[in-house]
Structure 1
């Protein structure tokens, strides 16, 4: 019985971390529908979790080229390996406003994105999670020095 409160507390901490980490976290099912949408994504995209969850990522963000993104996701689902999108390949996956005061010279947030497999207890990959990193400061420095 003593383990239950500690497990509950750890679960609560995990949810709090996912919601407050300075990294976008999005879980997509095999149909590319949003299952998880964290606070970073709400803050930067302007879309609330209740608006995003259950929706196709392509309907929420029509700027994402569907065929291109599905090619990026294919090794995640088929091989269970990570896939990467850097701001140099494509400045952003999700068109989000730039909210950093130091880097306001950018009209949008440059992003580095990792597509990660999510395995079921049997080892199948039925979902993937995206981790979205704000790369605006890095991009601004590099683009300024070109």
Structure 2
């Protein structure tokens, strides 16, 4: 009985983690075409990977202001550093439904987004990945406190 090589097993684990982590993960290239779309994004946006892969982020999500978003990605591509979008700056980047039963009083998912550089083996940044965190519970608590 042969066992799978350790590298293949680790690769399988990584794919499983990316698809099942409670965090949106999207990879876009320098032309803003979607290269990776994980299970979190499918679940919350209602869009399947086969419907978005290879398409422009701005074509799929028309609510994202292109010039503003391109300015957010500039330090990631040019300097190789992270960039952040908090729900306080903009309630969401991707208009996703709120599916958490405890926080159903929100019409959409508030989000914190981190834009991370992805380096090639030679150190170039040709793509970036976005990590999208559901910040709805935190946002609603904060908004409730400020409205008192």
Say whether the fold is shared (TM-score over 0.5): yes
Residue 44 of structure 2: aligned partner: 44
Normalising by structure 1, we get a TM-score of 0.97
Give the corresponding residue for 1:31: 31
Using the TM superposition, name which of 119-128 and 4-13 deviates more. 4-13
1:71-111 CA-partner distances (Å, limit 9, x unpaired)? 00000000000000000000000000000000000000000
- Correspondence for 1:100: 100
Go from structure 1 to structure 2 and tell me whether the alpha carbon gap of 1:3 and 1:116 turns closer, same or farther (over 3 Å shift): farther
Shift, 1:3, TM fit: 9.4
Give matches, 1:1-146, under 5 Å. 5-146=5-146
Q: How many residues align?
A: 145
SS in 2 for 1:145: helix
Q: Any unmatched runs of 5+ in structure 1?
A: none
Q: Distance in 2 between matches of 1:84 and 1:57?
A: 17
Measure how far apart 1:4 and its partner are: 6.2
Cα distance between partner residues in 2 of 1:116 and 1:141: 28
Aligned-pair Cα RMSD in Å:
1.2
Give structure 2 stretches of 5+ with no counterpart.
none
